[in-house]
Amino acid sequence: MIRQNLLIILLIASLSGIGQYHYDFNENCRNAYSTINSLKFEEGKKLIDREKIVNPNNNIPYLLDNYIYFLTVFIGETEDDFDLFDDLKDDIIDRLKDGDESSPYYRYCLAQVYLQWAVARIKFKEYVTATFEINKAYRLLEKNREEFPEFLPNLINLGLLHTMIGTIPDNYSWVKKMVGIEGTIDQGVNEILEVLNISLVEDKYGHYKTECLFYLSFIQMNLMTSKEKTFKYLDIIEKDKSNLQNPLAVYALARIYMSNEKNDRAIEILLNRPTSKEYYPFYYLDYLTGLAKLHRLDNDANKYFFKYVINFKGINYIKDAYQKIAWNYYANYDTEKYKEYMGKVLKYGNSIVDADKQAEREAEEGILPNYHLLRARILFDGGYYEKAMKELTQDTRSGFLTTDRDSLECTYRLGRIHHEWGKINESILYYKKTIKLGSESHYYYAANSALKLGNLYEQMKEYKKAAEYYEAAQTMENKEYRNSINQKAKAGLNRIEDKL
């Protein structure tokens, strides 16, 4: 009888706990969060499991479970992982929905899960479901801001959403209506900055610092024009030496250095990154190492591209990696190897991202690239401008432009080199000539020239001219890099709309 009563009491106690899940982002959870974001999933899982035992009603560990699911899917890009974790995610949402609605973490956690899965779905072309999940996340975050205006973490995801919605081109305005979000790049940046500034001085928010810096650095690199601000964020990231042992931070640092004439530093960071088995494999860093070394015309660049295509089982940058292998062979006078690996571009990988689309287009054309223009492009992309210029201007190569496309590309490349060298008047002339010659071409040279002219006139505060060129960049006939150019042009218009 006593045993029976005890069982009844325990049953009542357990039932009374249903719906009473709370949110405690305590030190153990913060450690798990940082560990997971360093891609140490096994160690992070141990911390999560310990928290579930010690604090069984704490919902934060379940949010952190989803971080592991999301990062595995986002980095690994395999259908099997996507299907597995998509099912497990439903259990997390059910658990979170039973949480304490009076906590600011209630809607925040649900929004975080929806937003992470929306990003994952975009990789797998599940655009409709992703749109609905973004809508759910946004409404939860907005409601949370109304009820808990002082709740700082809310601003990180709102900042991301407001930033990204400001880059959607006008011809995709229907997406904005479906998502139901209004916002600008400046608004989003300021929201993330607010979290960063507090995370730098208050320990209880310190675990958000790296995440904020990661987002801000990429926003600056892709959507803004201030290199000074980009390097400011990089300095903060590098001051914390532990970030150099975080593959996600290494990814951010390398990408940004590669885009800002510091390719040698990117190679140094990539070659010294952590690679032990305690980290979830991030094979894209092998691809980046190959790319950085290709930009320097290092003989061993293909070693890293091969590691990527052999080990990576995901969907993106496979075609692009094979194209870059082919380029490296061609830049070293091996035409047959170029043809062999361009053939693999057609055989392997997907054509979702712009880089893979462009690689596939080159393979389908079956035309050997201009040797000196290709080398100039590779060297320019690494920030080696003097070497790139020599490929285009040496007297012995005066007859190397044999087609209209070669002439168009050469004009474009001269514009880009002069631009980055700070010879603005010369670059403007070359950009305008490129637009005149190639505005109806399916190559990207004219569209990107218009984008770069928009950037230049924006920096010179000639906002009307900037707007004209940003709009022109979105109306060109280019098929190459169309999405990324249009996004950046829209971001430019978004930045200057209040100044016109």
Residue 47 is part of which domain span?
18-226
Across the chain, mean pLDDT equals 89
Q: What pLDDT sits at residue 239?
A: 83
- Local confidence band at 358 (pLDDT 50, 70, 90 cut-offs): very high
Amino acid at 339: K
How far from each other are the two terminal CA atoms of the chain, in whole angstroms? 82
pLDDT in tens, 80-89: 999 999 999 9
C-alpha distances out from residue 103 to 55, 126, 132, 150, 339, Å: 17, 32, 24, 12, 60
Domain end call among 181, 200, 226 = 226
CATH of the domain at 23: 1.25.40
Residue 13 forms part of a structural domain: no
Domain end call among 226, 255, 290 = 226
Sequential DSSP letters for 327-356 = HHHHHTT-HHHHHHHHHHHHHSS---SHHH
Residue 193 forms part of a structural domain: yes
Residue 237 forms part of a structural domain: no
Query: What percentage of the chain reaches a pLDDT higher than 70?
Result: 91
Q: For the residues 196-222, what does the mean pLDDT come to?
A: 82
Residue 397 in tokens: 């190569």
- Look at 42-56, 147-161, 335-349, 382-396 and tell me which has the smallest mean pLDDT: 382-396
C-alpha distances out from residue 406 to 234, 326, 370, 410, 417, Å: 37, 19, 7, 6, 16
Q: What pLDDT sits at residue 10?
A: 42
| Cβ atoms of 73 and 120 closer than 8 Å | yes
What does the buried/exposed string (b/e) look like for 111-150 if buried means 16 or more CB atoms within 10 Å of the residue's CB?
bbbbbbbbbbbbbbebeeebbebbbbbbebbbebbeebee
Alpha helices in 240-353 (DSSP H): 247-258, 263-271, 284-295, 301-311, 318-331, 335-347
Residue 328 in tokens: 């490296």
Residue 350 forms part of a structural domain: no
Amino acid at 2: I
| Cβ atoms of 167 and 185 closer than 8 Å | yes
CB neighbours of 444 closer than 8 A, spacing ≥ 6? 358, 478, 480, 481, 482, 485
- Look at 8-17, 153-162, 178-187, 208-217 and tell me which has the smallest mean pLDDT: 8-17
| Cβ atoms of 474 and 153 closer than 8 Å | no
| Structural domains in the chain (count) | 2
Residue 315 forms part of a structural domain: no
CATH of the domain at 403: 1.25.40.10
Domain end call among 176, 194, 226 = 226
